[in-house]
Amino acid sequence: MNKPSDKKEDYLNKFKKLVDKFNAAMDDDFNTAQALGHVFDMVRLTNNFIVDEKSMSDYKKTEILAEAKKAFDHFGAILGIFQSDADHFFMSDKETELRKRGLDIEKIEDLIKQRQAARKQKDWAVADAIRQELGRLHIVLKDSADNTSWTVE
Of 70, 29, 68, nearest in space to 46 by CA: 68
pLDDT at 87: 82
Query: Rounded to whole angstroms, how far apart are CA atoms 11 and 17?
Result: 10
Residue 68 neighbours by CB distance under 10 Å: 20
Q: Do residues 77 and 24 make contact, with C-beta atoms less than 8 angstroms apart?
A: no
Specify the pLDDT at position 95. Answer: 87
**Nearest-angstrom CA–CA distance, 28 and 113:** 55
Contact (CB, 8 A) for 108 and 150: yes
pLDDT tens for the 153 residues of the chain, in order: 556 568 899 999 999 999 999 999 999 999 999 999 999 999 999 999 999 888 888 899 999 999 999 999 999 999 988 887 888 888 888 888 888 888 888 999 999 999 999 999 999 999 999 999 999 999 999 988 888 888 888
What pLDDT does residue 54 have?
82
For the domain made up of 4-79, the CATH class stated in words is mainly alpha
**Domain parsing of the chain, residue ranges:** 4-79, 86-152
Q: With beta carbons less than 8 A apart as the criterion, state whether 84 and 103 touch.
A: no
CA separation for the pair 114, 4 (Å, rounded): 56
Helices (H), 28-143: 32-52, 58-79, 86-100, 105-120, 124-136
* Backbone region of residue 23 per phi and psi (left: phi > 0; alpha: psi in -120 to 50; beta: other values): alpha
